[in-house]
Amino acid sequence: MLRRGGLRFLHRKLGFFGLIGSTLVFIFYTLTILPPIDVKIRRKVIPIEPILNLSQSDFIGNSDQLPAFEEHYFNLTASNFLSSGRAIPDTRPPRCRTKEYVLNAKKNVSVIVAFHNEAKSALLRTISSVINRTPPDLLHEIILIDDFSRNELNANILVNIPKTKLYRNAEREGLIRSRKIGALKASAEYIVFLDSHCEVNVGWIEPLIDRLSYNPGALVSPIIDIIDAATFEYKATSTNLKAGFDWSLRFKWIPRSDEELQTNHDETSSFASPTVYGGIFLISRMWFHQLGGFSSDLEIWGGESLEISLKAWMCGGQVEIAPCSRVGHVFRKKHPYDFPHGSTHTFLRNSKLIAENWLEEYKHFFYFARPNAQGIKIKGNTDVGILKEKLQCRTFSWYLQTVFHELKLPNEEHIAFGELKHEDRCLAVTTDAGRQRHIQLGSCYEMGETTKWALHNYTGALSPDSGGCVNVFQSLVILEYCRNSAAQKWVRNGGNLIHATTGKCLESLVGPTVAVSTCRYGSQSQLWSFSVEVQQQ
């Protein structure tokens, strides 16, 4: 029989082990059953000392010693001359430099860069800028996907670059699928896609992560600054533009309205955008895969940014642009790499897939703008229907009304609209340094965004999508405010466009110049075609 003191000792023992047991149960429950707690921290952009400035000569070798512009459609000599860790101007709005950002202490980023036959100096500068301008605690890894380039990278050099992994496709997959491969290999909570001829700027990643801290379903893009293809000068881009498209599904910049600028007057605040530009954006890795990533049906390049943007908006997320995040991009007039079926056919096929999968009853407007797409064969995709059902995606009608009200439906009063072409060139509205608008001819594919025109059935007004009406001053073709005037009336007669007041025909002259001159019916220089022309009864 235990004495009273022994009982007290036993009670103390049992109480001690009971406390240990309950503590272990609590720890097990916390780690395995309760959801993880996101620890949020607030901090400003931390200045980083550059740690990477590799020798260009070691990395480049002799394979990139080609004449400027010959292979890459940018000045290769200038690119090779620049340091891999060169300084670039800080193009952020001033208040961005003192702003605090909300970051998740446990979440960092996988940077994915897919490339095919890229100039090594441009690629190295992309990698170096990420290493030198991303806080180490926010950068988990850089994933390079070599899409079966002719000249393999020297993997031994990449060993010296922290957190960098190189994978090479066994065959050409195209940049779209290569990015998707990179996303499957990524292991960070967030993934960001960059082109292989970019340079990220100071404080680029914090504003992007900040937005996902508030809205995990966001797809956030930086402001895309310009790296001049001839000089490699880094130039700031306006923050008053958002990304969109027209009915041909070609990308176009859209000015933010006065109402938007007044509502979102803080120069550091992100703003909604119908799409992203060029596939440069940050997204939650889990959300990217829930959206199905980039469609595997899309070939090589073109349309993937639009497709993922439509998915994000229509299926429960949104697309934003963060003005405090700046990434420079080399803008080229041509693609330097080959398309197995030609770039025009590939982009048209990709666009048709997007129209069939996401535009619903509005897809016929795409075919009005791109009639050649009707003859392209594509396979049906049941995965899109399953995805829409699973995520309870909204309709494209909702997208037009709520997100992209700037995309107007073609007016039934228009007897012709779309691209206005003379032979293989398009009539376009260009803006000079003094912001004066001019009408001229240029390549439909090298000019970037092509102008869309409409010919009104009743007034005869010929108008570009940027606004205004075409008139004639002496023999010059000019753009002015619409006045519903007989002087702005044009008449369609066969392939000719006739200015009603003067009776003269629109004509292509030397180079990009257009004017009016005496009609010579059947003359090749006076023949014009719209993408869509309504049959007159």
User: 420-433 in b/e burial notation, b at 16+ Cβ within 10 A?
Assistant: bbbeebbbbbeeee
Contact between 418 and 462 under an 8 Å Cβ cutoff? The reply is no
What is the pLDDT at residue 12? 56
More confident residue, 108 or 246: 108
How far is the C-alpha of 43 from the C-alpha of 137, rounded, in Å? 13
Q: How are beta strands 504-508 and 496-499 bridged, if at all?
A: antiparallel
- Per-residue pLDDT, averaged over 520-526, amounts to 89
What is the pLDDT at residue 30? 47
Which is nearest to 291 in space by CA: 402, 384, 192?
Answer: 384
Q: How are beta strands 462-464 and 453-456 bridged, if at all?
A: antiparallel
- Segment 484-500, tens digit of pLDDT: 888 999 999 989 999 99
More confident residue, 83 or 72: 83
Please tell me the number of Cα atoms within 13 Å of 68 on its side-chain side. 11
Q: How many Cβ atoms sit within 10 Å of the Cβ of residue 282?
A: 27
DSSP lists the bridge partners of residue 429 as 439
Q: How are beta strands 190-194 and 198-200 bridged, if at all?
A: unpaired
What is the pLDDT at residue 374? 85
How far is the C-alpha of 455 from the C-alpha of 498, rounded, in Å? 12
How much of the chain is helix, strand and coil, in % rounded to 5? 30, 25, 45
The one-character DSSP state at 387 is H
What is the pLDDT at residue 149? 86
What is the pLDDT at residue 447? 46
Phi, psi of 281 (to 5 degrees): -165, 165
Structure-token match 């090479």, residue found: 168
| Reported confidence tier of residue 465, pLDDT bands at 50, 70, 90 | confident
Which of these ranges, 143-147, 205-209, 331-335, 336-340, has the smallest mean pLDDT?
Answer: 336-340
Q: Which two tokens stand for residue 58?
A: 């070691």
What is the pLDDT at residue 1? 47
Q: How many Cβ atoms sit within 10 Å of the Cβ of residue 287?
A: 19
How far is the C-alpha of 303 from the C-alpha of 249, rounded, in Å? 8
What is the pLDDT at residue 352? 92
Which is nearest to 111 in space by CA: 123, 127, 125?
Answer: 127
| Reported confidence tier of residue 6, pLDDT bands at 50, 70, 90 | low
Which of these ranges, 36-40, 47-51, 156-160, 249-253, has the smallest mean pLDDT?
Answer: 36-40
- Per-residue pLDDT, averaged over 235-253, amounts to 89
Which secondary-structure segment (H or E) carries 314? helix 304-314
- Segment 79-99, tens digit of pLDDT: 888 888 899 999 999 999 999
Which is nearest to 220 in space by CA: 327, 358, 107, 332?
Answer: 327
How far is the C-alpha of 365 from the C-alpha of 59, rounded, in Å? 49
What is the pLDDT at residue 248? 85
Name the H helices within 167-303: 175-185, 205-214, 258-263, 285-290
223 pLDDT higher than 90: yes
133 pLDDT higher than 50: yes
337 pLDDT higher than 70: no
How far is the C-alpha of 347 from the C-alpha of 373, rounded, in Å? 10
How far is the C-alpha of 56 from the C-alpha of 460, rounded, in Å? 59
Which of these ranges, 152-156, 379-383, 527-531, has the smallest mean pLDDT?
Answer: 152-156
More confident residue, 274 or 49: 274
481 pLDDT higher than 70: yes
110 pLDDT higher than 90: yes
The percent of residues above 90 in pLDDT, for the chain, comes to 47
How far is the C-alpha of 326 from the C-alpha of 1, rounded, in Å? 80
Mean pLDDT computed over every residue of the chain? 84
57 pLDDT higher than 60: no
Q: Which two tokens stand for residue 341?
A: 């079926």
Q: How many Cβ atoms sit within 10 Å of the Cβ of residue 491?
A: 13
316 pLDDT higher than 80: yes
Q: How many Cβ atoms sit within 10 Å of the Cβ of residue 255?
A: 13
26 pLDDT higher than 80: no
How far is the C-alpha of 154 from the C-alpha of 61, rounded, in Å? 9
In the three-class reduction of DSSP (H, G, I as helix; E, B as strand; rest coil), residue 74 is classed as: coil
Q: Highest mean pLDDT: which of 190-194, 248-252, 265-269?
A: 190-194
Which is nearest to 112 in space by CA: 151, 147, 74?
Answer: 147
Which secondary-structure segment (H or E) carries 496? strand 496-499
397 pLDDT higher than 90: yes
How far is the C-alpha of 103 from the C-alpha of 38, rounded, in Å? 10
Q: Is the pTM of this model over 0.75?
A: no
- Per-residue pLDDT, averaged over 132-157, amounts to 87
Contact between 284 and 189 under an 8 Å Cβ cutoff? The reply is yes
- Segment 278-314, tens digit of pLDDT: 789 999 999 999 999 998 888 767 789 999 999 999 9
- Segment 354-394, tens digit of pLDDT: 999 999 988 988 887 787 888 888 877 778 999 999 999 99
CA distances from 282 to 174, 179, 203, 222, 288 (A): 21, 13, 14, 9, 10
Which is nearest to 422 in space by CA: 506, 334, 493, 532?
Answer: 506
- Per-residue pLDDT, averaged over 99-117, amounts to 92
**Domains of the chain: residue spans and CATH:** 57-330 (3.90.550.10), 414-533 (2.80.10.50)
What is the pLDDT at residue 291? 96
The percent of residues above 70 in pLDDT, for the chain, comes to 81
